[in-house]
Amino acid sequence: MGNIVVSLDIGSSKVCVLIAEMNKKQFNILGVGTSECKGVKKGIIVDIDTTVEAIINAVKQAEQMANIQVKSVYVNIAGGYTNIYKNKGVIAVSREDREITSEDVKRVIQAAKVVAVPAGREIIDIIPEQFIVDGYSDIKDPVGMVGVRLEVDANLIIASCTTVQNIIRSVQKAGLTVDGIIVEPIGTSSVILNEDEKELGVALIDVGAETTDISIFRKGSLTYTKVIPVGGNHITNDISIILKISSADAEKIKRQYGVASPNMIKNDEVIKINNLAGKGQKEIHIMEVAEIIDARLSEMMYLIKNEIDNNETLSSLAAGIVITGGGLFNIKGIQDVAQSYFDVPVRFGYPNYIGVASPVYAAAVGIAMYELKQKRGSSIDYKSAQPQREIAVTNEEDEEDIEKPSFITKIKEFFADFF
C-alpha cells in the first residue's frame, strides 16, 4: 500500500481530498473529492467543527470514487504562515569502509534539526539544500559515496504550534490520522513548476479565495514565502457591493464575464440580474464589471510586486512568475495583464491530469506527487474484494485496457453524483 498517498488541501473556500498512486513512475489519480468550507478564514482554521464536516464530505467523495477507505492523510499548511531557517548538520560516517548509507543521511538531517526554536513554534519539515562530503559541495544524494565527514545545508520549516495543532485536531476529529504536514508551495511546486524554473529563480503566486501565497524558489529550493490577505473573493465582494447584487450573482458574473482589463471589452454587453429586494431586475454593464475587476487586480499586482521587490528584484527571477490557484482562474486575460505589469515572463500553471486540470486542485495534486516522489504512503483499506489491479496499474500490458477505461468511468460517476 505504500505507493498510494492521500492528500488533503484545506483552503479558505473549499476542502479538497485526492487519492493518488505512483505506479512504475506513472502518476495516477484514483479519487478526488471537494467540499465547500466556511471554517477557514485567510488560511487559518477558525471553526474546527465546520472544517471537520467539510473534510468528512470531501473524503467520502474521494473514497467512493476510488473504492478505498482512507485512514490517514498528508495535509497542507499555507507557506505564508511558516518561517524558513537555514541550518547545518555534521556527522562522521559510521561504516569502516567509509561508504555513506541512507542511515548516515538520516543522521545528518536529524543533526540539522538541533536548533533553538522560538517559543510557541515547532519544526514541521526539513528540506536538504545540498550535502557536503569531505568539503565537496553541491551533492544532491551522497548515498554510495565514500567519505569521512558528511554535512548538510538544510532549510528548517517552522510554524506556529497553535496553527499546526488546529490542523491536526481537525483531521483527527474527522476520523483520520496525519501522516505529515506539508508546506503548500513545496507541494504545489512539484506539479506546477519544472526543475529549470526552480533552479533559475521563479516566483510562484498561488491566488486563493481570501489569501495569496507568494513563494520564491532559487537553486532548486524554496527560499522565501509570504502570504498577503487578498484573494479572489475580494473581487467577488467588490462586484457585489458596488453593483448592489448578491454574492452568488457576483460570483457568477465574475466567472462568466470577468476580464482582467476594460480594454478587452469590445462590445459593452448589458446583462440583467434580479434585485436584492427580489422585485424586478437591474441592468449591469460588462464594462463596469471590468472596471471593478481592474481596480482590485491593480491592488493585488502592486502588493505582489512590492513583496517580491522587498526580497528579490523581479529581473533576477530568470524564469519569471507562475500564477496558480482558483482565485483568478476564471478571469480572462489575466496572464497578459500580469506580464505587462511585472515586465517579466508570466504563465498560468495547473495540473495536467484528467479530472483535476484546474488550478483549484494544484495544492492537492502537488502534495500527493511530492510525497510519492519521497516514496511515502498513506494508510488505506480496500472497500471490496476486487483485485487491486482494477484500481492501480499492475503491469504495462494491462495499462491500456484496464486503468484508463476504469478511471474515466469513475470520473463520469463522480461528476454525475456530486455535480
Contact of 418 with 61, CB cutoff 8 Å: yes
Cα dist. 230→46, 100, 303, 308, 387 in Å?
Answer: 18, 47, 9, 16, 47
pLDDT over 50 (residue 59): yes
Burial zone of 212 (CB within 10 Å; 0-12 exposed, 13-18 middle, 19+ buried)? buried
Q: Quickly list DSSP for 154-222.
A: EEEEEEEHHHHHHHHHHHHHTT-EEEEEEEHHHHHHHHHS-HHHHHH-EEEEEE-SS-EEEEEEETTEE
pLDDT over 90 (residue 1): no
pLDDT tens-digit series, residues 388-414? 333 333 333 333 333 434 444 444 444
Q: Which pLDDT score is estimated for 23?
A: 81
What distance, in Å, lies between the first and last C-alpha atoms of the chain?
30
Of the candidate CATH numbers 3.40.50.10470, 3.40.50.2300, 2.40.340.10, 3.30.1490.110, the domain formed by 82-162 belongs to: 3.30.1490.110
Cβ contacts of residue 385 below 8 Å, gap of 6+? none
- Any idea where the domains of the chain sit in the sequence? 4-79+163-190+354-418, 82-162
Average pLDDT for the chain: 85
Q: Which pLDDT score is estimated for 397?
A: 36
Of the candidate CATH numbers 2.120.10.30, 3.40.50.300, 3.30.420.40, 3.40.50.970, the domain formed by 4-79+163-190+354-418 belongs to: 3.30.420.40
Using CA of residue 94, residue 95, residue 98, residue 103, what is the dihedral sign?
Answer: negative
**For residue 284, which of 105, 302, 292 has the smallest C-alpha distance?**
292
Cα dist. 138→19, 131, 202, 223 in Å?
Answer: 34, 6, 20, 17
pLDDT tens-digit series, residues 25-44? 788 899 999 999 988 888 88
Consecutive H or E run containing 300: helix 286-309
pLDDT over 90 (residue 240): yes
Contact of 58 with 37, CB cutoff 8 Å: no
Q: Which pLDDT score is estimated for 3?
A: 82
pLDDT tens-digit series, residues 157-184? 999 899 999 999 999 999 999 999 999 9
Measured CA to CA, the distance from residue 291 to residue 12 in angstroms comes to 26
pLDDT tens-digit series, residues 111-165? 999 888 888 899 988 889 899 999 999 898 999 999 999 999 999 999 989 999 9
pLDDT tens-digit series, residues 280-293? 788 899 999 999 99
Using a cut of 0.85, tell me whether the model's pTM lies above it. no
Phi/psi-derived region of residue 160, left when phi > 0, alpha when psi is between -120 and 50, beta in every other case: beta
Consecutive H or E run containing 247: helix 247-257
